[in-house]
Structure 1
Amino acid sequence: MIRRPLHAWLAAIAAVLLPVVATAQEAPPLLHAMFSDHAVLQRDRPIRVYGEAPPGASVRVELAGRRVRARADGDGHWEATVPALRAGGPYELVATAGDRSQRVRDVLVGDVWLCSGQSNMELQVWRALDARAEIAGAGNDRIRLFTVPQVAAVAPRATFDQPVEWQPVSPESVREFSAACYFFARELQKHVDVPMGLVEAAWGGSRIQAWTSAPALRRLGRYDGELDVLDRYAVDPVGAVGAWGELWQAWWSGLEGIAADDRPWEGEGGGQWRDAPAQLGAWEHWGVPELADFNGMVWYLTTVELDAAQAAQEAVLELGPADEIDMTWVNGVGVGSTYGAGAGREYPLPAGLLRAGANTVSVNVLDTWRDGGLAGPASAHALRLADGTRIPLDRGWRYRVVPPDLGDPPRAPWQSAAGLSTLYNGMIAPIGRYGLRGALWYQGESNTFEHAFYGDLLRTLRSDWRERFGAGLPLLVVQLPNFGAPPTRPTESDWARMREAQRAVAAEDDATGLVVTIDIGDRYDIHPTNKQELARRLARNARHVVYGEAIPPSGPVPRSVARNGDAVVVEFGDASDGLVAYGADGPIGFELCGQTQDSCRYATASIRFDRVTLQAPGAHAATRVRYCWADSPVCTLFDGAGLPAGPFELPVPPMIDDDHAR
């Protein structure tokens, strides 16, 4: 063994420890996390640069030979505005405050796009068509990628709580990135030859309410109670959950057909209760015909016996995963609600809630897609006491199926993808007021059950994001594609109603584009993989809406409806190279309808120039014309450029009384 003098050992230890201490004491970055190596900044407009510094500090910002100053406010926030730059680079961005300095390298100036929505926007390149070749061939230093971490929050975040970075396109960086977003920029760059920066902020299964700020939602006047609970949840989560349980109970008790004494959160009251299988798990696999293909709500109920000493302790209710949303009560008091099938639940119980003897645990599970229910076995669910005792809830569960026609329950406002403002707070607010050229929005599947309100929600999101990122922010909306079984007769459709809401909102605003995808969905898969064609249509739409090119943005659009004797005539605009019908002499997919839901009839259609003439039995009495009206409609009207006419419903002018006209 080699012996060292004491001072040598101390010197060696110091050599190891001092860098660690220095690192721990390093000041935080001056620049916000959006400003990092390889960033893209928005061209042709003043560039907002922001970050954190000591309160009152003077901050100097340098970019492309331009120097500006800002002063940090009392909370340390600062923002400077660099004069507009044309597309170009690479540059260095430098921020200096006193003896502190931060240098960001390889910065480009071009067009920056926010790509947001749910799973079809999130769908990665490795899941898209021809993925192996797309990944292997990816390499473009002038397209940069930024992925916002998936974080839900009950209050707006000032920045990200996870490491983030800009990355040039490469096989490694593009693999997990949004296919729709990446392919869009690649296609657009063929026509707009500038660097592209892509900011992906998407979450599968998310509702539009989660992407909208709380102040914006309050302006709608529909969510005040839920938002009040959300405010309370930020400071008193246990109390807020109890208050939410009362709101949920009020919803249930207000349903038509629910008796006053039907309170399943307290025990078996109304309805038919049966024994659940001991292994629990997805109810589709229980062998119960009623549940073999059931999407909706099922109540679960069990009891747990405690002695006085156990009941006096603090406790946490453990539940295994629930697919996909649970609302849970203990002894009639709401204790938790979570969205997502992948993780278990842990709900702290309010003090004094438990009692000696029998305690009731009631769980309402809502499933909207594929398998649903509480995961098994029963031992996965338990009461965990403060002394470490774990009491499994394995005495047997009872269940009750809720008729689907009772509707969908309210969602707890703090839920990640199904809540209110949670993804705005955790994923949009942390971006700050970064300069954008526009936003792509692919969402709606999770809101089809509330299509009647979606138009107002989409308008609210649009104005909300414009308040943050700039007035007139262009928004390109992807209309929902076809999905599900094709119809054999005219039918009502939540998906069709959702598409109509999207169409109406886009039609009222010149800076909002609508991208029709009714022909590139997959009737067997809610996640169609042909994101390349989607991207081509998005890029075409952007060229018209954002860059002002004189090209039709997205296929034939209905301009007017008129009568011609017993026929109805629809005139179209925005058709490149005229109207064509695929696979038949005339297009199919048109319906003529009266006032009632069951009055629609398929119409025979013929094309002449830019008009489609419709004939059907009772056409003289039609008050509405519909096209492509089903979850997965068969419709064959296109233009010469191969772009489809999109779904719509429009009124038919009333018949003119000849005697009255004279």
Structure 2
Amino acid sequence: MRHFYSCVFMLLFCSLNALAQLKVAPIFANNMVLQQKEENYIWGEAKAKESITLSTSWLEEEIKVKADKNGRWKVAFSVPQADLKSHTITIKGKETITLQNVLFGEVWLCSGQSNMQMSLGGNYNQPIKGGNEAIANSTNKYIRHCTIKREKSTVEQSNCKAKWEESNPNTSPNFTAAGYFFAQQMYQTLGVPIGLVNATWGGTRIEAWMDKEILSTQYPSVELPETEAKDLSHNTPTILYNTMIHPIVGLKIKGVLWYQGESNIKLNPIEYYDIFPSMITRWRELWQQGDFPFYYVQIASFNYPKELPAYLIRDAQLQTLKKVENVGMATITDVGEKWNIHPMYKKEVGERLAYLALNKTYGFHNIQCTGPIYKSYEVVDNKIVIEFDNVPRGLTSFGVPIQEMYIAGQDSVFVPAQTRFTRNRQLEVFHKDIKKPLAVRYCWNNAFVGNLFCIGGIPASPFRTDNWKENNKKNETPQK
């Protein structure tokens, strides 16, 4: 009887192995962009121990590997400088797969929640400013977009569903709007193909994009899922990392564009000061590409309920600049919408992310990429003098009084302040009735329209000079 079951097992195993077909991971497909001037990887599945041969239209020699005992295979190959030509990749085993219309260029992963997910065609009753014009002018075979299908799982998946497309008026309405405007500016400046990988899902907390190992070891208070994914919200910790990030770890990328934070406001915003830098570091560890560029968007103004301190998430994002190497933050204090959590001004978002990449990653140092960042203050007579970083040519409000600047005196009550620019690239803040000022705050509330900029037109981040307790109603910043 034991011999009988052994024979049945062997027959079943051999049958399943015989059915195994050559497959390539779905992230590698027609129309894709490969990261130029780097060693890239491609992987997939085949029969156990099957010999796999990779050949390309640009490499003279074939590359041969064998699938492991589980049928998994992976090939490393070099990609030269972008040449604006269409290339092919052929993978041969028992079957043959050919990837066509492949370009070399710059590959950026776009991830986060709804403001990165928001498409160029807009949401229902929520437009993209200039979106229709952008769609009409979007024909460009050198801008490519890959959509990772939104799925969830409580365990790490080997594959995801992905689709690469060329940019044109039929495809671009479904592209990430912020990502598209980023790619448009990047292509215009660099003149090489730009590939966007869109792994986004609206309404998601940062923990959904993190793996089980880091959450269980560093954040034990985070409840990890124990039931099947179909019974869980897409906002559940690990559930999107498993399906939308883990399957593409190893894809050679230039860097990450991230827009997220809104869904962490109602949880524990204080924890965001630590967990956001940890997520960046962890993704870099998993990718094993060193400290690749990670550029993110500071969340926009919105009229959140008073008990939800969105300004703490913005401050956590600001402080991340000091905690993690090779990061940058796009500020958008000027383009939020008080009654719309999905601001229409995604062109400004995408272009400011592009300015960060062009300056910090590609060496175009005369492109200003960061707005004024609060550095220090000094009380001089009845004024507070603010000093900023990132203002090589000074400050401006483009000819109108600065809004959302508040000052407090001995009574710790904040009132609207007057301001004056100095010749030393500083800002004087004062109020005629406050003789001994103690603190200044700028855009330190949920909803606002900021108008303090560097000369390059990049807005200042919200800031405060004090560290007073947030639950003290006496020193709250007025909310308009």
Q: In the aligned structure 2, how far is the partner of 1:478 from the partner of 1:590? A: 22
Task: Map 1:116-131; keep pairs closer than 5 Å.
Answer: 116-127=111-122, 128-131=128-131
SS in 1 for 2:427: strand
Return the letter of the residue paired with 1:606.
R
Task: Map 1:483-562; keep pairs closer than 5 Å.
Answer: 483-484=302-303, 494-550=309-365, 551-562=367-378
Q: Against the structure 1 CA distance between its residues 474 and 219, is the aligned structure 2 distance closer, same or farther, given a 3 Å change threshold? A: farther
Q: Deviations over 1:583-608 (max 9, x none)?
A: 54x52322345899x64343332110
Deviation at 1:619, TM superposition (A): 6.6
1:388 aligned residue: none
1:442 aligned residue: 259
1:195 aligned residue: 193
2:290 pairs with 1:471:
yes
2:456 aligned residue: 641
Q: Against the structure 1 CA distance between its residues 72 and 613, is the aligned structure 2 distance closer, same or farther, given a 3 Å change threshold? A: same
Q: Against the structure 1 CA distance between its residues 43 and 650, is the aligned structure 2 distance closer, same or farther, given a 3 Å change threshold? A: farther
Q: In the aligned structure 1, how far is the partner of 2:78 from the partner of 2:426? A: 50
2:87 aligned residue: 91
Task: Map 1:127-138; keep pairs closer than 5 Å.
Answer: 127=122, 128-138=128-138
Find the partner of 1:457 among 266, 269, 275.
275
2:71 pairs with 1:73:
no
1:183 aligned residue: 181
2:45 pairs with 1:52:
yes
Deviation at 1:650, TM superposition (A): 3.6
SS in 1 for 2:265: helix
Q: Deviations over 1:48-94 (max 9, x none)?
A: 11111222223222232153233322222221211242113321111
2:419 aligned residue: 605
SS in 2 for 1:46: strand
Q: In the aligned structure 2, how far is the partner of 1:530 from the partner of 1:621? A: 36
Q: Against the structure 1 CA distance between its residues 91 and 634, is the aligned structure 2 distance closer, same or farther, given a 3 Å change threshold? A: closer
Deviation at 1:507, TM superposition (A): 3.4
Deviation at 1:493, TM superposition (A): 6.3
2:384 pairs with 1:568:
yes
Deviation at 1:110, TM superposition (A): 0.7
2:243 aligned residue: 426
**Contact 1:212–1:460 (CA under 8 A) maintained in structure 2:** no
Deviation at 1:181, TM superposition (A): 0.8
**Contact 1:159–1:432 (CA under 8 A) maintained in structure 2:** no
Find the partner of 2:214 among 213, 216, 219.
216
**Contact 2:410–2:436 (CA under 8 A) maintained in structure 1:** no
Q: In the aligned structure 1, how far is the partner of 2:164 from the partner of 2:19? A: 23
Q: In the aligned structure 1, how far is the partner of 2:447 from the partner of 2:434? A: 26
Return the letter of the residue paired with 1:206.
T
Return the letter of the residue paired with 2:298.
Q
Q: In the aligned structure 2, how far is the partner of 1:80 from the partner of 1:153? A: 27
Find the partner of 2:21 among 7, 21, 28.
28
2:47 pairs with 1:233:
no
**Contact 1:555–1:576 (CA under 8 A) maintained in structure 2:** no
Q: Against the structure 1 CA distance between its residues 80 and 650, is the aligned structure 2 distance closer, same or farther, given a 3 Å change threshold? A: farther
Return the letter of the residue paired with 1:538.
L
Deviation at 1:133, TM superposition (A): 2.4
SS in 2 for 1:501: helix
**Contact 2:34–2:79 (CA under 8 A) maintained in structure 1:** no
**Contact 1:568–1:619 (CA under 8 A) maintained in structure 2:** no
Q: In the aligned structure 1, how far is the partner of 2:282 from the partner of 2:396? A: 40
Deviation at 1:168, TM superposition (A): 0.7
Q: Deviations over 1:347-373 (max 9, x none)?
A: xxxxxxxxxxxxxxxxxxxxxxxxxxx
**Contact 2:116–2:200 (CA under 8 A) maintained in structure 1:** yes
Deviation at 1:202, TM superposition (A): 0.8
Q: In the aligned structure 1, how far is the partner of 2:217 from the partner of 2:203? A: 24
Return the letter of the residue paired with 2:285.
E
Of structures 1 and 2, the larger Rg is shown by 1
**Contact 1:561–1:651 (CA under 8 A) maintained in structure 2:** no
**Unmatched 5+ stretches in structure 1:** 1-24, 238-336, 339-413, 653-662
Q: In the aligned structure 2, how far is the partner of 1:28 from the partner of 1:172? A: 33
2:474 aligned residue: none
Return the letter of the residue paired with 1:554.
T
**Unmatched 5+ stretches in structure 2:** 1-17, 123-127, 468-480
Q: Deviations over 1:225-261 (max 9, x none)?
A: x22xx2x435xx9xxxxxxxxxxxxxxxxxxxxxxxx
Deviation at 1:179, TM superposition (A): 0.8
1:382 aligned residue: none
**Contact 2:20–2:46 (CA under 8 A) maintained in structure 1:** no
**Contact 2:22–2:47 (CA under 8 A) maintained in structure 1:** no
Q: In the aligned structure 2, how far is the partner of 1:473 from the partner of 1:68? A: 27
Q: In the aligned structure 1, how far is the partner of 2:334 from the partner of 2:459? A: 7
2:149 aligned residue: 149
Q: Which moved more, 1:146-155 or 1:123-132?
A: 123-132
- Kindly tell me the number of residue pairs found equivalent between the two proteins: 437
Q: Deviations over 1:25-65 (max 9, x none)?
A: 97534321111111111112111111112222232222321
Find the partner of 1:114 among 87, 95, 109.
109
Task: Map 1:164-183; keep pairs closer than 5 Å.
Answer: 164-183=162-181
Q: Which moved more, 1:598-607 or 1:493-502?
A: 598-607
SS in 2 for 1:83: strand
Q: Against the structure 1 CA distance between its residues 197 and 566, is the aligned structure 2 distance closer, same or farther, given a 3 Å change threshold? A: same
Q: Deviations over 1:485-506 (max 9, x none)?
A: 99xxxx9861111111111102
Q: Against the structure 1 CA distance between its residues 59 and 591, is the aligned structure 2 distance closer, same or farther, given a 3 Å change threshold? A: same
Question: Superposition RMSD on alpha carbons, in Å?
Answer: 2.5
Deviation at 1:420, TM superposition (A): 0.5
Q: In the aligned structure 2, how far is the partner of 1:562 from the partner of 1:70? A: 65
Deviation at 1:427, TM superposition (A): 1.0
**Contact 1:492–1:630 (CA under 8 A) maintained in structure 2:** no
Q: In the aligned structure 1, how far is the partner of 2:372 from the partner of 2:206? A: 28
Q: Deviations over 1:271-306 (max 9, x none)?
A: xxxxxxxxxxxxxxxxxxxxxxxxxxxxxxxxxxxx
Q: What TM-score do the two structures reach when normalised by structure 2?
A: 0.84
Find the partner of 1:205 among 182, 203, 207.
203
Q: In the aligned structure 2, how far is the partner of 1:111 from the partner of 1:72? A: 29
Q: Against the structure 1 CA distance between its residues 527 and 595, is the aligned structure 2 distance closer, same or farther, given a 3 Å change threshold? A: farther
2:300 pairs with 1:481:
yes
Q: What TM-score do the two structures reach when normalised by structure 1?
A: 0.62
Q: Against the structure 1 CA distance between its residues 68 and 630, is the aligned structure 2 distance closer, same or farther, given a 3 Å change threshold? A: same
SS in 1 for 2:256: strand
SS in 1 for 2:252: coil
Q: Identity of aligned pairs, percent?
A: 29
Return the letter of the residue paired with 1:72.
A
Q: Against the structure 1 CA distance between its residues 529 and 621, is the aligned structure 2 distance closer, same or farther, given a 3 Å change threshold? A: closer
Q: Against the structure 1 CA distance between its residues 614 and 504, is the aligned structure 2 distance closer, same or farther, given a 3 Å change threshold? A: same
Q: In the aligned structure 2, how far is the partner of 1:573 from the partner of 1:480? A: 20
Return the letter of the residue paired with 2:245.
I
2:54 aligned residue: 61
